[in-house]
Amino acid sequence: MKSVVFDLDGTLIHSSPDLQAAANKMLADYGLAPLDIPTVESFIGNGVPKLVERCLRVYGQPLTEEAVDKMRGYYGANPYTLTKPYGGVVACLEALKGAGIKLAICTNKPVAPALTILDGLSLTKYFDVVVGGDTYSTHKPDPQPLLGCMDKMGAEKANTVYVGDSETDALTAKNADMTFALFSGGYRKMPCEELRHHFLFSNFDSLTPYLKG
């Protein structure tokens, strides 16, 4: 492999505690009860508006721009207070970078908070390109963000792997006709066996030799 594109939330970073905290602040503004971590994790993967829509739907409430703005405000103020890289991520990125492999991020999170988190966790230095949910007019699972990310980094399908954790990531890779490595951790509703993938891993120590090999 010459290039690797990673999803962010649920793949490189465990971000659900901060997303849960922001979502619950938003819900409290409307007099709604807080949601637990498993519930919020099941809503992650399609961007902030969809996460807010799913949170409000629990209480039979409609999605509003005000609610989305509240969520973005709360999350933007504290995007990595509780967020941490998964175990082995830093060592994996170090090894890949040291091997001369180009690295990028393709996430449905808007670019600004994505960069804030990467900076805060000292991960920015590993990535040549960061594509967010607001980089293009479409977002994952539409293939445009992933293909656009590869174009920005000068990568080709034949020697690039996309790494993600969710149904959205698996479908994005399929739509882009990409090799896909599936992290069995992260935020997902379906069993891994039901998702299209070429390599399944539970820890980043096993991902490194696959990508370098």
Helix (H) or strand (E) holding 85: strand 84-85
Q: Edge-to-edge strand order for the sheet containing 3-6? A: 129-131, 102-106, 3-6, 160-164, 179-183, 199-201
- 3-class DSSP assignment, residue 107: coil
Q: Is 7 a catalytic residue?
A: yes
Q: Virtual CA dihedral for 46, 52, 55, 60, nearest 10 degrees?
A: -120
For residue 76, give Cα distances in angstroms to 25, 121, 203.
Answer: 13, 15, 29
Distance CA(21)–CA(24), nearest Å, equals: 5
Annotated active-site residue in 7, 18, 165, 169: 7
DSSP β-ladder status, 84-85 and 13-14? antiparallel
Residues acting as catalytic residues: 7
